[in-house]
């Protein structure tokens, strides 16, 4: 990587990953967003999407292997657990905790983007980082990294019940407690068409039990269902 300081990248690798990269290009590329390449075409030619593609496959195999070997639940439940572990929010949070955001190379516009866009970039970089570790150190080290930062969250996910589909769970709870099926209604929209945010409310009977927002009506419904489930939990205490 000519023309750039690799020291901070090796320091990150040594402190957070426990080793230094022999091929530092893997790490730097993993933390390079497509938008940065677009702004520096003369000096930078590769972004992290190919490494993300590789890392996504390694992540899914690692989590699937762990669940298969350690739990005897049916395929449908294991699939739900895996989805909860590898969703954007989970791996984006893991990326934030690792602290590589200051090393991310992206355009000025992306740096000033929405929180949702930032979380997606962090998540994509996390998968690319897995790909970089896999190429540099092999599957076993990539698997250890995933176990430490992702699979270790399984216990808390099971305790909280967050692996369950919130809408299905809410329907069970509302019918059991109140005898009503939840109804979702759009409360508002904001933002341009390419970055729209929907606000929805979920009603049980005539009562508004929760609100949620998201980049799609489906995502907003899920968030509203989570809020309603929290309301039911508080009611039961």
Which tokens go with 237?
């205490």
Contact between residue 66 and residue 175 where contact means Cβ atoms under 8 Å apart: no
User: Which of 210, 212, 201, 144 shows the shortest CA–CA distance to 173?
Assistant: 210
Rounded to the nearest 10 degrees, what angle do helices 49-70 and 75-86 cross at? 140
Pairwise CA distance, residues 129 & 122, whole Å? 10
Pairwise CA distance, residues 125 & 100, whole Å? 9
Q: How many CB atoms are closer than 10 A to CB 171?
A: 16
Pairwise CA distance, residues 131 & 137, whole Å? 10
Which residues are catalytic, by number? 56, 127
Which tokens go with 219?
């995502």
Pairwise CA distance, residues 132 & 26, whole Å? 5
Pairwise CA distance, residues 93 & 214, whole Å? 17
User: Which of 131, 5, 6 shows the shortest CA–CA distance to 57?
Assistant: 131
Contact between residue 225 and residue 167 where contact means Cβ atoms under 8 Å apart: yes
């Amino acid at each position: 990587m000519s023309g750039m300081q690799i020291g901070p990248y090796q320091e990150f690798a040594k402190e957070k990953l426990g080793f230094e990269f022999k091929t530092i290009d893997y790490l730097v590329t993993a933390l390079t967003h497509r938008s940065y390449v677009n702004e520096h075409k003369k000096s930078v030619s590769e972004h992290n999407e190919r490494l993300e593609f590789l890392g996504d496959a390694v992540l899914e195999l690692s989590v699937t292997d762990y669940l298969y070997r350690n739990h005897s639940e049916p395929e449908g439940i294991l699939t739900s657990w895996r989805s909860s572990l590898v969703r954007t929010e989970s791996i984006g949070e893991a990326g934030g905790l690792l602290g590589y955001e200051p090393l991310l190379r992206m355009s000025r516009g992306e740096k000033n983007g929405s929180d949702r866009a930032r979380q997606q970039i962090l998540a994509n970089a996390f998968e690319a980082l897995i790909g970089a570790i896999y190429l540099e150190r092999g599957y076993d080290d990539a698997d250890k990294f995933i176990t430490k930062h992702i699979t270790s969250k399984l216990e808390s996910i099971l305790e909280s019940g967050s692996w369950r589909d919130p809408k299905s769970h809410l329907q069970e709870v509302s019918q059991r407690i109140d005898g009503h099926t939840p109804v979702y209604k759009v409360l508002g929209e904001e933002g341009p068409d390419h970055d729209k945010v929907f606000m929805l409310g979920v009603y049980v009977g005539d009562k508004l039990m929760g609100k949620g927002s998201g980049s799609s009506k489906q995502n907003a419904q899920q968030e509203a269902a989570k809020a309603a489930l929290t309301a039911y939990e508080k009611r039961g205490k």
